[in-house]
A = this chain, B = another copy of it.
Amino acid sequence: MYRDPSDVNRVASLGAGPIGGGWTAHFLARGYDVNAYIHDPAERDALMAVVETGWVSLTGLGLALGASMDRLTVTSDLAEAVEGVGFIQESGPERLEIKQALYKRLGEIVPADVVIGSSTSGLTMTEIAAECETPGRCVIGHPFNPPYLLPLVEIIGGKQTDKAAVDWAAAFYEVAGKAPLVMKKEVPGFVATRLQEALWREALHMVANGEATPEDIDIALKNGPAPRMAVQGQCMAFHVACGEGGMATNLDQFGPALKWPWTRLEAPELTKELRDQMVDGCNAMAGDRHFRDMAAERDRKIVAVLKAVRDG
């Protein structure tokens, strides 16, 4: 039903804010023709400022062949914006009644085989598409700020979304140079924000309790876990740090530490099932790579990251 994601040449990006503008810049840099919809013609300068800011970074990361800011069309006519596009990224205001009205209209004017991705961070697609005639192709494709820079897109449908639309969105975002993550369940904060929020709330507790200052928090992160987390994530960081034994050693040996007051968040019960899910997941990511090779790669990349932060 949906076209091959590689056949999409023109996309629409709806919204003139930092998220909409960020998406516009990203798609332009990946070589798409982009129709940018702004609600009010007066928003044009604001949109262009975001696009131009994003363009600097995207040029640094490397533009796709043929990518050009000249391939941008800005319009405040919604029908014109979605005409002939192969995908729509919607980054309108985070107000349910505005989104519902927008998706109702999109349902009327956009062919049902064109997937629509919403940048929403706080609403569900079940709510957003409640008045849309064709909710099957509506998904959430939630970026991470700044969206022109960070590759993550967290994807989930609503109750009426076709599984095929979710799969298509994941494949399309991948083709479009993003790092898609299809959510297993609808959960507030998605994956990335939940992880960051747990850390953030622990940080606020530490400041409130006189254990650290905001500067201490940032010094600790920048010089400690963050560079390694940027290279490996936290699961593979522990897997590789434990050498031959990997995540199994980490959990079997240090499992009791999950009961220690190393944070105010209580850990889940370390059941056999959870232990095996963690171990199997890390083994699958490692594949047939030896831990020494992964450690060497980690070190090489952390060196590059530290130099990037120092000299970048």
Q: Which residues of A contact B (CB under 8 A)?
A: 53, 56-57, 60-61, 144-146, 149-152, 154, 179, 181, 183-185, 187-236, 238, 241, 247, 258, 260-271, 273-274, 277-278, 281-282, 284-285, 295-296, 299-309, 311-312
Q: A144-B223, A197-B263 are in contact. List 18 more A-B contacts (CB 8 A).
A: A144-B225, A183-B211, A184-B211, A189-B260, A195-B221, A195-B225, A196-B224, A198-B263, A199-B199, A200-B234, A203-B234, A204-B258, A214-B235, A217-B233, A226-B229, A300-B312, A301-B308, A305-B309
A300–B271 CA distance with the chains assembled, in angstroms: 43
Contact A202 B207, beta carbon cutoff 8 Å: no
**Assembled-state Cα–Cα distance A222/B269 (Å):** 26
The distance in angstroms between the C-alpha atoms of A262 and B228, with both chains bound, is 24
Contact indicator B188/A210 (Cβ below 8 Å):
no
Q: State the oligomeric state as a number of copies.
A: 2
A192 partner residues in chain B, CB cutoff 8 A:
220-221, 224-225
* A contact patch SS: helix
From A219, which residue of chain B is reached at the shortest CB distance? B181
